[in-house]
Amino acid sequence: MSRLHHVAGHALRLLRCGEEYFPRLVAEIDAATESVYLETYIYAADGSGRMVADALQRAARRGVSVHLLLDGFGSAEFPQRWRAELQASGVQVLVFRPQISWLTLRRKRLRRLHRKLALVDGHVAFIGGINIIDDTSDGTDVPRLDYAVEVQGETVERIHASMRRLWVMVTWISFRKRHEHDKLRLLLPVATQDKVAFVFRDNLRHHNDIQQAYLNAIAGAQREIVIANAYFLPGRNFRLALMGAARRGVRVVLMLQGRMDHPLLHYATQFLYDELLGAGLEIHEYHASFMHAKVAVIDGSWSTVGSSNIDPFSLWLAREANLVIRDTGFAATLRASLQQEMERGGKLVQHSAWIRKGFWARLLPRISYVLVRMMSAVAGHAGERDAV
């Protein structure tokens, strides 16, 4: 667990993997006196899930107002008996877009709640990419690589407003009060130039905030860009920004998923290797375990930790949340952790070896790339009624 960083009135702590995240989350829930909000894409019925569920129930039983918001797809297998148990203790449970039958063709299926946020007493928040699931649920001995940030300070008020707003929206829609929806279409003030900024993506007025934060930082990079991202399939503008940075002498390092967990996305990403390696970018495939991180460090001073991948589903469709920090101390801590992971489990992809791959080895990435772009384009054209 990293040291506490004090930045512009904020206290920040970088948490690596669930082994650091869950003890801190549970400790704060156990200290709660007023309210707990928790949003997650995946909530698994395993050891970590039980640990958090027990803490939520303890809080509810002592009179704390506890709110749990689950994604209907990512948490589709959340046991009904667990939900009943939580509700019996006083925990309020809602589901964002309950999963519909696969036989029902709806474009909004891919518009998911992908944020991983927790808020205790409106005072301390957790933001990152860690779901409520055991680190080794994928069968590996080495924990899945992921990060979160524990934060206190003024930015927590913005996180609080966003979480409360989404909770109310889902509550109204769950009870079919769609006419109330427009009352919450309020623009939260964007503060992306602050030393610590909460940046989120929704399907209303903040659909491009996370990507723009990345692009602004990349445009200003002078020495080094390090991006670790589990599912990396950026659009043309994002790729041009990275390649432009490399052309002006910036070292651009990508740490990407080496182990295959989603074959279609895995091969689609590899379709971009020729272009990116040819432009001088470094690609390190991470093989020590499955990588779920969504973080970046630029010029040793700008960093971000959050839930957003750099792919069409995160940047165009899902609700996401990142924290942007402008501080050399915090950036150094995250950069050192990423460097250690690259040395321990990364494998540098050599351009000379990559371009020697035969026709059939290149065909599958090309087909995968076309399929992913087609799927995301169709889903991305859902109408305004689909904006929640």
Q: What is the pLDDT of residues 28-55, one digit of tens each?
A: 999 999 999 999 999 999 999 999 999 9
Could you tell me the CA-to-CA distances from 54 to 1, 149, 178, 219, 254 in Å, in that order? 23, 22, 34, 46, 38
In a domain, 381, yes or no: no
Are 371 and 282 spatial neighbours (Cβ–Cβ below 8 Å)? no
Q: Which two tokens stand for residue 293?
A: 């991180």
Distance CA 117, CA 127 (A): 5
In a domain, 383, yes or no: no
In the predicted model, is pLDDT for residue 250 greater than 80? yes
Provide CB contacts within 8 A for 165, sequence distance 6+: 184, 186, 188
pLDDT of residue 373: 82
Residues 284, 214, single domain; the answer is yes
* Alpha-carbon torsion angle 270, 273, 276, 279, nearest 10: -170
pLDDT band at 176 (very low <50, low <70, confident <90, very high): low
Sign of CA dihedral 199, 317, 220, 255: positive
Are 211 and 218 spatial neighbours (Cβ–Cβ below 8 Å)? no
Are 153 and 9 spatial neighbours (Cβ–Cβ below 8 Å)? yes
Could you tell me the CA-to-CA distances from 107 to 26, 319, 383 in Å, in that order? 37, 15, 9
Residue in 386, 388, 372, 368 with CA at minimum distance from that of residue 106: 386
Count of structural domains within the chain: 2
For residue 297, what is the domain's CATH number? Answer: 3.30.870.10
Q: Which two tokens stand for residue 66?
A: 């506890």
Distance CA 160, CA 303 (A): 22
Residues 140, 203, single domain; the answer is no
Residues 147, 216, single domain; the answer is no
In a domain, 219, yes or no: yes
Residues 272, 156, single domain; the answer is no
Query: How does pLDDT run across 336-371, given as a tens digit for each residue?
Result: 999 999 999 999 999 988 888 877 778 888 999 999
In a domain, 212, yes or no: yes
Residues 116, 170, single domain; the answer is yes
pLDDT of residue 335: 98
Residues 15, 149, single domain; the answer is yes
In a domain, 388, yes or no: no
Residues 299, 257, single domain; the answer is yes
User: Given the DSSP bridges, would you call strands 92-96 and 65-71 parallel, antiparallel or unpaired?
Assistant: parallel
Coil vs helix vs strand at 129: coil
Provide CB contacts within 8 A for 343, sequence distance 6+: none
In the predicted model, is pLDDT for residue 102 greater than 60? no
In a domain, 380, yes or no: no
Distance CA 275, CA 243 (A): 9
In a domain, 250, yes or no: yes
Sign of CA dihedral 159, 144, 81, 70: positive
In the predicted model, is pLDDT for residue 135 greater than 80? yes
Residues 228, 253, single domain; the answer is yes
Could you tell me the CA-to-CA distances from 76 to 101, 111, 170 in Å, in that order? 11, 15, 17
Cut 0.85: pTM above it: yes
Kindly state the percentage of the chain with pLDDT values over 90.
74
Provide the domain limits for residue 280.
Answer: 196-374
pLDDT of residue 382: 42
Distance CA 215, CA 86 (A): 42
Residues 228, 168, single domain; the answer is no
In a domain, 65, yes or no: yes
In the predicted model, is pLDDT for residue 220 greater than 90? yes
Sign of CA dihedral 330, 335, 340, 341: positive
pLDDT of residue 78: 96
Residues 216, 244, single domain; the answer is yes
Residues 301, 322, single domain; the answer is yes
Question: Which of 184, 207, 239 is a domain's end point?
Answer: 184
Tell me which of 101-110, 176-185, 364-373 is least confident.
176-185
pLDDT of residue 308: 97
Distance CA 76, CA 96 (A): 11
- 379 or 148: which carries more pLDDT confidence? 148
pLDDT of residue 356: 82
In the predicted model, is pLDDT for residue 177 greater than 70? no
User: Given the DSSP bridges, would you call strands 35-40 and 65-71 parallel, antiparallel or unpaired?
Assistant: parallel
Residues involved in catalysis? 114, 116, 121, 292, 294, 299
In the predicted model, is pLDDT for residue 280 greater than 90? yes
pLDDT band at 103 (very low <50, low <70, confident <90, very high): very low
pLDDT of residue 181: 46
